Amino acid sequence: MPSRWSSSSSSSDHPPFNNRYPPNPRSTGFSSEGHLPFDSPPNHPFGGGGGGPPPFRPMGGGGGYGPGHGHGHPMPMPGQKRGRGSPDRGDGGNFAKLFIGSVPRTATEEDIRPLFEDHGNVIEVALIKDKRTGQQQGCCFVKFATSEEADRAIRALHNQVTLPGGLGPIQVRYADGERERLGNFPSAVEYKLFVGSMSRQATEREVEEIFSPYGRVEDVYIMRDDLKQSRGCGFVKFSHREMAEAAIRALNGTYLMRGCDQPLTVRFADPKRPRAGESRFGPAFGGPGFGPRSQETVGVRPPPNLGDSLGGRYPPHAWQPMSPKNAGPSSQVANTFGGHLSTRDGVGTLPSTAAGSLGVLGGTTNGSLQGLSVTQSLTLQQTPTPSAAQNQPFGQKLSPMQKPLQSPQHLPSSLQLNQQQPPTSLSQSQSSHTSNQQLGQLQLPHAIGQYSVGLAIPSQPLFGSSAQLSISQPQVQQSASAAALQSSLNIQQQGLPAAVVQQHPSVSSVHQQLLQPIQQPPSQLSHILMQQQVQALQSSFQSSQQAFSQLQQQLHSIHPTAQNQQLNSQTSKPQSPWSGVMPQTVVSSPANAPATVAPSTISATPAVPVSTQAVAPQTCNWTEHTSPEGYKYYYNSVTTESRWEKPDELTLFEQQQQQQKLQQQHLQKLSVPQLQPQSQTQLSTQIQSTQQASQMQQLQPQSQLRQQQQPQIQLRQPSLASPYQASGGIQSIQDQGYAQLQASNSSVIDCARFQQGLQAAQEWMWKNKPAGT
């Protein structure tokens, strides 16, 4: 069952809640069940499978959002059980109520209250007991004064703490109807994917690893039989549809879990059949996966007839990709496997392959990862044998090579910049895959470059759809990606080991692929090393991903409606608000955007600052992390060693990084003032107040991007001033975050700070959001 942080009998010198104490670094008691790290630990050495004691794997923070049931629909007031107060008052009634599950029946308020008071002002703790028997029901409600406090508590406690006598970690989420009552509609939704053909050995954590590149995974549930044996399928929740979509695009039919002979099935889950007594306004109605627009971008699955959604299941073929000619106006690419190159929209304005290969490439911040993984990992293993290739069910889909529109000559010439990179053995082996390689490298740059892709482009499509842009979408995107690419080059030049860097894009799959050989007797040391490096990179990446996801959530929760409206009312771009944020469209569109156009903007991109290159590159295998109880610890991705004390190497490393930053601060100051004078200023102030100041930096390609995007943003301002101001603010945060991320190879650390900055900025945005939203 669920692992627990505490076992009240574990150690005599442990208090009832040893969650407040550092876990034993050698503990192996983390089985991870539905635990989704918020501040995800660095490495995820899927300790299982292999031999030897798994390295310390403290579990991350709670999955945070996501009520157990998806009350996503704004209209009805689901389960507003005792809230007879008018739900439409905006104040939410001056409290935020959380439902706490898995509370031992023996627990008292004194057991519970202190836990929550660590995260805010607890107004009330109400233990629930049976009316008749008076026995406690194993759950309770906790009221906080504000939803911010409630959010903190969720993140800190959900799935993190097992109360004495409890059978599993407590579940902390908003009470039914609470999100709606508080007006946090967007946060109330969740996008649940059904995942089939999973390895029956897989743990929740492993599944999370696979999906987390596409967004912060809110929850993982593996179906198990009575004996707790996996049934080989389960559910993964994201907070945003775009993440789920990206995961589907990238993973469905393409990801082979270790020990499996079938690739994962990934699609939106059917609505869960409500249990007796459950609100009739339950998940089936609001199920985000079935929202009004959900079918627009993923799959041609028929929109569930609301009146029919309670028990309806659709024939399997309904999920299959529809051929373009049959595709209705709203049909999008469900997935591209099977060699289908469907258009993303009925009009065909968007690059068809963009959705597929590049969509994979550009997928979500990393949908890309998966896409490139095949070629990359094959190369890495140096086993380009047909058999090896055939083991991958990816076939056509994942081989960008086979996408007609991606031949090298279609790429902006500036992309060739990559070739200035001194060829490593890896890149040489890939030399025949020029385009792949380049696309891959776009993703490469440590977590940073990945991130940069997501952050660099974002606001563009967000604020302006193609119809109103002076520059066509694709062009902008291309130039943007090119800039990002340059950034990535930049980073590589800063000294990330090329081999490591190149693996990064495909972490997940590489992972998977590396694990296999490792289990075989003649495993090479190099594989192990690579695996470790990959892990480090992967975790770094995840950290950035999480920060990014956070940002997305925030953005989404601020003006979802306005964003949707805008996007809906315009153009052929059926993308969600994230279309720009997610690299999904970043690289693509060779069809529409003659590559020859893009280079002009790219060429304008200044070279990497000398100062950047001048600094001696350095890496550090140690990364800083936070255990679920909030304690810092340090993990060495190479030795897999964990320790509580900060290693000197890391201290030194950070000092060097700091120096580097100081050298470049003036550069950053030059670029900051450009954007959104108002919000920019405030936000940067805010961010810097959270110790970010020293982290801010440089980034020429970035500032270049801003210049390109700026006019477009402002173009849009008139009609939707307030929303877009807020969004503009976000953009600036993204830029800064990006800058910061790029600043250091030790992105895990930076990401943590980045998140802090984000939070501060988010709070600011929230407080300053336009009234009525």
Partner DNA sequence: CGACGGGACGC
Residues lying near DNA in the complex (CB under 7 A) are found at 33-34, 67-69, 79-84, 97, 99, 101-103, 124, 126, 128-131, 137-139, 141, 171, 173-176, 192, 194, 196-198, 219, 221, 223, 231-233, 235, 262, 265, 267, 269-273, 275-276, 279-280, 310-313, 315-316
Going by C-beta distance under 8 Å and a sequence separation of 6 or more, which residues neighbour residue 292? 303
Going by C-beta distance under 8 Å and a sequence separation of 6 or more, which residues neighbour residue 177? 71, 77, 78, 79, 80, 81, 83, 87
219 versus 735: smaller Cβ distance to DNA: 219
35 versus 511: smaller Cβ distance to DNA: 35
CA pair distance 667, 315, nearest whole angstrom? 58
157 versus 175: smaller Cβ distance to DNA: 175
Least distance to DNA from the beta carbon of 576, Å?
A: 21
Helices (H), 331-399: 352-353, 359-362, 367-381, 386-391, 395-398
Least distance to DNA from the beta carbon of 113, Å?
A: 14
CA pair distance 283, 397, nearest whole angstrom? 33
Least distance to DNA from the beta carbon of 556, Å?
A: 21
**What's the one-letter identity of residue 423?**
P
Least distance to DNA from the beta carbon of 304, Å?
A: 10
101 versus 609: smaller Cβ distance to DNA: 101
User: Token pair of 569, please?
Assistant: 């009312």
Going by C-beta distance under 8 Å and a sequence separation of 6 or more, which residues neighbour residue 65? 151, 154, 173, 187, 190, 218, 239, 553
- The DSSP 8-state label assigned to residue 517 in this structure reads H
Does residue 129 sit in helix, strand or coil?
Answer: strand
Least distance to DNA from the beta carbon of 726, Å?
A: 30
Helices (H), 672-699: 677-687
CB atoms within 10 A of CB 498: 18
Let me know how many helices (H) and strands (E) the chain has, helices first: 29, 11
227 versus 276: smaller Cβ distance to DNA: 276
182 versus 751: smaller Cβ distance to DNA: 182
211 versus 633: smaller Cβ distance to DNA: 211
40 versus 563: smaller Cβ distance to DNA: 40
Least distance to DNA from the beta carbon of 80, Å?
A: 7
173 versus 344: smaller Cβ distance to DNA: 173
395 versus 617: smaller Cβ distance to DNA: 395
Q: Where are the beta strands (DSSP E) in 155-249?
A: 171-174, 191-196, 217-224, 230-238
126 versus 499: smaller Cβ distance to DNA: 126
CA pair distance 280, 260, nearest whole angstrom? 39
Going by C-beta distance under 8 Å and a sequence separation of 6 or more, which residues neighbour residue 467? 570, 571
C-alpha torsion angle, residues 96, 101, 105, 108 (rounded to 10): -30
Helices (H), 14-136: 109-117
CB atoms within 10 A of CB 92: 19
Least distance to DNA from the beta carbon of 549, Å?
A: 19
393 versus 757: smaller Cβ distance to DNA: 393
Least distance to DNA from the beta carbon of 131, Å?
A: 4
Least distance to DNA from the beta carbon of 24, Å?
A: 25
Does residue 632 sit in helix, strand or coil?
Answer: strand
Least distance to DNA from the beta carbon of 165, Å?
A: 14
Which whole-number Å values give the CA distances from 44 to 37, 219, 387, 534, 539, in the listed order? 11, 17, 28, 10, 7
Least distance to DNA from the beta carbon of 652, Å?
A: 42
31 versus 682: smaller Cβ distance to DNA: 31
The CB-side HSE value for 753 (13 A sphere, CA atoms) comes to 26
CB atoms within 10 A of CB 451: 32
- The DSSP 8-state label assigned to residue 238 in this structure reads E
Least distance to DNA from the beta carbon of 459, Å?
A: 34
* Partners of residue 140 on adjacent β-strands: 100, 127
Least distance to DNA from the beta carbon of 142, Å?
A: 10
Does residue 259 sit in helix, strand or coil?
Answer: coil
